[in-house]
Structure 1
Amino acid sequence: MVYATFCLTVTLLVYAFFAMREERTTAMKRRLAHITGGVETAQTVASHPEEGREPSLMRRLLHPVWKEFRRGFSRTLEERQAAKLEIRLLQAGQPFGMSPVDFRIAQLTVFIALPGVFLFYASILKIGLSGTIAFLLAAIVIAAVLPGYYLKLKTRSRSRLALRELPDVLDLLTVSLEAGLGFDAALSKLISKKEGVLATEFRRCLEEIRLGKTRREALTGVKERVVVDELRVVISSILQAEKLGIGMVQVLRIQSEEVRDQRKQRAEEAAMKAPIKMLFPLVLFIFPSLFIVLLGPVAIQFIQTFSE
């Protein structure tokens, strides 16, 4: 049973590795096509990544099985759970282009893989029944926590990047609006000049507006996908200004100043926390080394004197 689980785990991991490589290659081609050939070429690459190329043997063998397994697994996922998980994936930047079904399959794979690998190594090391049970329990706990923790890390990292980009994005939007552009045209100028988390989200927002969504719905989607309180305040202010007929230039200028003030306050707070964080390395590592260097020769001389 252990060896069968191990073989199944290795097979799934190998296929997942090749699928991730394929996804990265397709994303790279899509970006290059968007730069060199325009949006239509990028969409062609995204929709037909395998066109003009013979699929590999691994893909021909495993793709039908994977497709059928994925279809059957999607039926077990409730619509409410899928919606919540999709929001979490979007907040994390949709790593590896995963859908909710793909993420659940990845969770299942990790939950099978880690205990299988731990049991395999426990059988090799021959650590006994108690050690094997401890290994198995540790693997189950890690496998249950790891995928969700990975999403949290990705969400936190993406939020930090978005918060760092926010002041420059607001400045560019303000300048574009002052130059006489409309809000949608200012967003187009922004996504053509900037790269990053916010540029990607506003590109998606603009595409949703062009596909028929209202501006309020599209900007509300940006608020849900980016976990940054400052950005949510900015978008709420934009929507309120649009509703009340207030000029957006003044609103964006005020919000930009507030975001920069908040960034300055966070920097000052981090600077005040730095001495407290340095205290533990000083006490645990630097002070003992200084004591050894300063008092070590004295202690040696003292011992030699009294031993004579």
Structure 2
Amino acid sequence: MINALARRAATRTRLNEVRGEQTRLTDPTSLRGDNMAKGWYKLTEIIEKTGISLVDTQGESLRARLVAAGYNSPHAPKVFTALRLGMLVMLPAFFVGLIFLSGTEVSPFKLYLVGVGLAIFGLYAPNLFISAKADRRREAIVNGFPDSLDLMLVCVEAGLGMEAAFDRVGREMQNSHPLVAHMLSIVTLELRAGATREEALRNMANRTQVTEIRSFSTLLIQSDKLGSSIGETLRVYASEMREKRRMRAEEKAHQLPVLLSIPLVACLLPVMIGVLMLPAIIRIVRQALPALSGG
């Protein structure tokens, strides 16, 4: 009994470590990354001690966006808010200081416009960065998830349970699709820590914020409750995911002619018009100029 409790405690500790591995703002495997992350957290504490609250009014939605981008730390929303406030103030201040140090004369209206533009950029640039990173992570997960389903189907048909299948597939996909492997490893650790299969699958869907993962989690939960075959469920859903991936590739291929027409029209059409019209223009000039000059 004591050994089982000790193993469960060790599993929970490992789960907390894995959840926090991708929350650091730099490489979590380096000492420099650890020190930089601690420096950000200390900076937020210092700012909050001055009386400035870094708690966002839309904390839950911000937390979900940061988790989707890979920042799972509880300090991530405060660091994000502090970064936005710092860029909002520091970018216009840096521009004004640069103008005064260089001695360049700038009109107050232009100084005001540039300062406001830099402040708006500093306010919205972190949001754009988080959205872009979340989109890249979603795309990487969606592209690698069909392969994980095929491996999971092989494991289930070989006689492994869901927890063992998640663990095996997560270890097999460390090099090919690390984000998918990390997602499955967290689910495995949650199951070993005592969470139910429904809780672990729903947490996986909430962390990734991917429609395909959410549908997969719902499908497995329903199959588990209804007692249907997990192998058949995985086979059908894996086939659908491969079909969706093929359709996405075909959609991008069909978009290429439309996208290529824009640079072709913008670059080639003026040149073609010039080549076709230039001889006529030269001939008109040669005949019109002598007639206008009275020759």
In the other structure, the counterpart of 2:29 is 27
Q: Judging changes above 3 Å, is the alpha-carbon distance between structure 1 residues 299 and 97 closer, same or farther for their aligned structure 2 residues?
A: farther
Deviations 1:182-239 (A, max 9, x none): 1111111111111322211111121222222222111111111213212211111111
> Which residue in the other structure is 2:8 paired with?
none
Q: 1:73 to 1:103 in 2, by over 3 A?
A: farther
Residue 211 of structure 1 corresponds to which residue in structure 2?
Answer: 193
List per-residue Cα deviations over 1:67-113 (Å, max 9, x = no partner).
74166379934497444332211101129996222212212221122
Give the direction of change, closer, same or farther, for the CA distance of 1:64–1:198 in structure 2 (3 Å limit): closer
- Alignment partner, residue 86 of structure 1: 63
Q: Could you say what the CA RMSD is over the residues aligned between the two structures, in angstroms?
A: 3.3
**Given the superposition, is the C-alpha separation of residues 90 and 144 from structure 1 closer, same or farther in structure 2, using an over 3 Å criterion?**
same
1:105 and 2:87 aligned: no
TM-score where L is the length of structure 1: 0.73
| Cα distance in 1 for residues equivalent to 2:70 and 2:60 | 15
Please state if 1:235 is matched with 2:217: yes
Q: Name 2:131's counterpart in structure 1.
A: 152
The answer as to whether partners of 2:187 and 2:200 remain within 8 angstroms in 1 is: yes
Q: Secondary structure at the match of 1:187?
A: helix
Encode CA deviations 1:135-188: one digit per residue, 9 max, x unaligned: 111012112211111111111111111111111011111111111111111111
Q: For residues 151 and 276 of structure 1, what CA distance do their matches in structure 2 show?
A: 29
Amino acid at match of 1:199: A
User: Does structure 1 residue 167 correspond to structure 2 residue 165?
Assistant: no
Q: Matched residues in 1 for 2:223 and 2:164: separation?
A: 18
**1:278 matched to which residue of 2?**
260
Which letter maps to 2:135?
R
Identify unmatched segments of 5+ residues in structure 1: 1-21, 30-45, 51-57
Q: Which of 82, 102, 119 is residue 96 of structure 2 equivalent to?
A: 119
Distance 1:258 1:105, change over 3 A: same
Identity of aligned residues (%): 26
CA distance in 2, matches of 1:64, 1:228: 29
Contact 2:54/2:82, CA 8 A, preserved across alignment: no
Aligned partners of 1:170 and 1:237: how far apart in 2? 13
SS at match of 1:127: coil
- Aligned partner of 1:37 in structure 2 is none
Secondary structure of the residue aligned to 2:257 is: helix
2:44–2:78 CA contact under 8 A, matched in 1: no
Q: Could you tell me which amino acid in structure 2 is paired with residue 126 of structure 1?
A: E
Aligned length: 261
